[in-house]
Amino acid sequence: MSEFHARKLLVATPLIDDGNFDHTVVLLLEHTAEGAVGLVLNRPSTLVVAELLTGWEDVPGVLYSGGPVSPESLIGLAREWPDCSESGWKRILDDVGSVDLSLGAEQLAGRPGLRLFFGYAGWDANQLDGEIAAGAWFVVDPEPGDVLTDDADGLWRSVLARQPDQVSWFQNYPDDLRSN
């Protein structure tokens, strides 16, 4: 029987031979017998929100690539704020939740930690379980600052560094084996 890991982090191991997930940290939003959905947390893109969404000139400046599935879709996350549940905010983990992007930039301006992701990571039934069993992912508990970190480039190494035993050794794995 599968163990479901919603609200956990998936940390890519060197066994992943897929440019979409190399050195990534994924927040699992949902993991059931039917499949899994998550967001890659550490892939800021070069896209500017204002170039894609009219009226979003200042909120937020950078889009993140949430994964290779449905890149035309947007998912927003933000930290909790007073009366946020009345604004379509839904808790995911600790003080982080999803936001209703239909509210628009004006309503969401100034919301703490607002981050937009285009696309998401998705797995069919048993696919993620098989990848975890094959050693492609470490499943770890998130810490409060992981999801909306200001250091997206360092997230993979910092999450690995705090893990017990040999798992922490992977933080030293080179980005490119040719440089080893």
168 pLDDT tier (thresholds 50, 70, 90): very high
Q: DSSP letters of 107-119?
A: HHTT-TT-EEEEE
Domains of the chain, by residue range, sit at 9-72+116-179
Rounded to the nearest angstrom, the gap between the alpha carbon of residue 99 and the centroid of all alpha carbons in its chain is 15
Phi and psi, residue 40, nearest 5°: -70, 125
Rounded Cα distance, 116 and 124, in Å = 24
In CATH terms, the superfamily for domain 9-72+116-179 is: VC0467-like (3.40.1740.10)
pLDDT one-digit tens code per residue, 7-49: 999 999 999 988 899 999 999 999 999 999 999 999 999 988 8
pLDDT exceeds cutoff 90 at 104:
no
